């Protein structure tokens, strides 16, 4: 396990995270993989519309079925953004064992979104989040 401490003013939030994806239960492992795969395929931000979907759409203009699939995926991404669903954030939340000593056992999408909100309110920044996610993805890809 790895400890991450988030500071906001005088308040400290202690997060205990799985150090390695191989420590995850089968359910957590499946969810993390699902969310990472969704993020890789769809993205998680409006910038990904340009970086992923528009590029794919231009490259598939000669193939109507492929272009339709790209548009469908872009619609899902826009829906996720509007509904504040970020697969990468949900994968990160799945890697959390406990917050301030309280074990995370509810892996429903709604609870994972609540965890991200709770951590954001506690001072989790996008920079810290990205560093932690990149570390896990990098370590996962080694295995």
- What's the structural domain count of the chain? 1
- The predicted pLDDT at position 131 comes to 76
- What is the value of pTM for the model shown? 0.81
| pLDDT beneath 70: ranges in the chain | 132-143
pLDDT of amino acid 15: 93
What range does the domain containing 133 cover?
Answer: 2-44+86-142
Nearest to 132 by CA among 84, 94, 76, 82: 94
Classify residue 91: in a domain, yes or no.
yes
φ, ψ of residue 97 in degrees (nearest 5): -85, -45
pLDDT at 134: 66
Evaluate whether residue 33 is within a structural domain: yes
In a domain, 113, yes or no: yes
The answer to whether residue 65 sits within a structural domain is no
Q: Is 57 within the bounds of a domain?
A: no
Q: Report if residue 121 sits inside a domain.
A: yes
């Amino acid at each position: 396990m790895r400890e991450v401490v988030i500071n906001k003013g005088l308040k400290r939030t202690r997060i205990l995270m799985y150090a390695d994806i191989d420590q995850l239960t089968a359910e957590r492992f499946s969810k993390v993989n699902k969310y990472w795969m969704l993020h890789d395929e769809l993205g998680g931000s409006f910038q990904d519309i340009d970086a992923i979907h528009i590029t794919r759409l231009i490259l598939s203009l000669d193939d109507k079925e492929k272009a339709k699939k790209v548009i469908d995926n872009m619609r899902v991404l826009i829906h996720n953004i509007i509904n504040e669903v970020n697969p990468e954030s949900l994968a990160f939340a799945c890697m959390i064992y406990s917050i301030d000593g309280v074990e995370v056992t509810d892996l429903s999408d709604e609870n994972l979104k609540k965890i991200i909100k709770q951590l954001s309110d506690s001072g989790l920044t996008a920079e810290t989040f990205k560093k932690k996610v990149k570390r896990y993805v990098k370590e996962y890809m080694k295995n």
